[in-house]
Every structure is written in C-alpha cells, then in structure tokens.
Chain A
Amino acid sequence: DARVTQTPRDKVTEMGQEVTMRCQPILGHNTVFWYRQTMMQGLELLAYFRNRAPLDDSGMPKDRFSAEMPDATLATLKIQPSEPRDSAVYFCASGPEGSGELFFGEGSRLTVL
C-alpha cells in the first residue's frame, strides 16, 4: 500500500537548534507539498514542488526555513534556528500529475522549548 513517509514522527528540541524533517513521497507522484498545522492557524501551505522544482515557498519564513528536493524520493524541510513559535505538526503530501488529489503523510510533530 503506497504511502507518504515522514520522519521523525516526533521531535523535541531546544530553541536555536537546527531541525530537519524528511519526506518520502509516493513513487510516481510529481508534486510535493509541505503544510504546517497549528490550532490557531489550521493548515498552512509552506512550500511545494513540481518535478522537484520549487514553485512556491511564499508561506515560509525565509530567514529560517528552507525546503529542498535532493531527488525524486526525498523532500526536506529545515528550520535553522528553531524558535518556540515553530512548534506545530508538519505534514508532507504528494500528488500525481493532474489529479488534484493530495496524499498526506502522518506528520512530524515538532516541539521547540
């Protein structure tokens, strides 16, 4: 059963530390999305890629967040330095060309102390 895989599932870190979250999209899906979920803001788009090219990262704080796709099987979201306000659940989703449908991973829960 194909699924989007995210690591780590849970991460607790201290303010100022670097955090890297990883995502393996479903094989054959050419679009990859990063969303952040918080109680206050709900689901917010951070960045997305099509065929590994970044198309929109306007939702990310550029000074501390970066998103990349080193290859078709790996997407990364990095926060450096992390801050308590970054505490949230970060979801990766992928989708096949033209379908409009997104398949979500189980999320990475980040707590920054």
Chain B
Amino acid sequence: AQSVTQPDIHITVSEGASLELRCNYSYGATPYLFWYVQSPGQGLQLLLKYFSGDTLVQGIKGFEAEFKRSQSSFNLRKPSVHWSDAAEYFCAVGASGNTPLVFGKGTRLSVIA
C-alpha cells in the first residue's frame, strides 16, 4: 500500500533563511509525487509535481523539490523563505492517471522575523 511520511510536524524558520521539508514515500512502482500548500481556512494548492524525467522539479512561489529514488524521498526546498510562506505543507503520492492521492500528515511552517 502507498504511504507518505512527513517526519516534521512543525518547523520554524527565520524570514530569509533556507527551508527544507522532508517527505518519504512507500510505493511499489514509479510514483507520481506532489507537494501541496494549505493556508488557514483554505483548500490545498499545488506547488509542484514529479511524474518522470529530471529529478529536480521547479514549482510556484520559488519552491523546488528533488526526487531521490534510492532514498524514497521527495524533499521540498526554498532558498529564502518569506513570511507569506507560513502555512501547512503536504506531500502526496499517487499512481499514473487520476487515481486518488495518498497524503502525508503535513508539516506546519512558521516564519519568524
């Protein structure tokens, strides 16, 4: 069965500092991988996705993620965090086509001045 682990429940970073959110997945075949962001009271917005090809993918809002098959990881990074990045971040895994995504429990990001 597919599963996603986000080891960090809550992370606090200073504005302007770099960020890395961890995601590990369990899936038998080549996964489709996603990062979504959720602001309070809002739905989930797609940041980026990986299906195949280049293992470093670029997303919106300056985010990027790297797929590492050997480590079953898909960590999210941003070189310089802005206060507006404070939100909940979810990693998700799916199969090809429009099958349901399995989500991690999320990492809450706080940004301090």
Contact status A106-B43, CB under 8 Å: yes
Within the complex, what minimum Cβ distance (angstroms) separates A91 from chain B? 6
Q: Tell which of B10-18, B69-77, B96-104 binds the partner.
A: B96-104
Q: How far is the CA of A35 from the CA of B100 in the complex (A)?
A: 10
- Chain B residue numbers with a CB within 8 Å of A96 are 98
Closest residue of B by beta carbon distance from A98: B97
Contact status B42-A106, CB under 8 Å: yes
Q: Which of A43, A97, A104, A106 contacts B98 (CB 8 A)?
A: A97
Scan A73-111; emit 1 where CB is below 8 A from any B CB, else 0.
000000000000000000101011111111111110000
With A30-B98, A42-B103, A42-B106: A100-B43 Cβ-Cβ less than 8 Å: no
- Chain A residue numbers with a CB within 8 Å of B90 are 43
The 15 sampled A-B contact pairs (Cβ below 8 Å) are A4-B43, A30-B98, A35-B103, A42-B103, A42-B104, A48-B100, A91-B44, A97-B98, A98-B98, A100-B49, A100-B94, A102-B46, A104-B43, A105-B43, A106-B43
13 additional A-B residue pairs with CB within 8 Å, beyond A42-B103, A102-B46, A104-B45: A4-B43, A30-B98, A33-B100, A42-B104, A45-B100, A91-B43, A99-B98, A100-B34, A100-B49, A100-B96, A106-B43, A107-B42, A107-B43
5 cross-chain pairs, A with B, having the tightest CB-CB distances, nearest first? A104-B43, A31-B98, A43-B103, A104-B44, A42-B105
Using a CB–CB distance below 8 Å, which chain A residues touch chain B? 4, 30-31, 33, 35, 42-43, 45, 48, 50, 56, 91, 93, 95-107
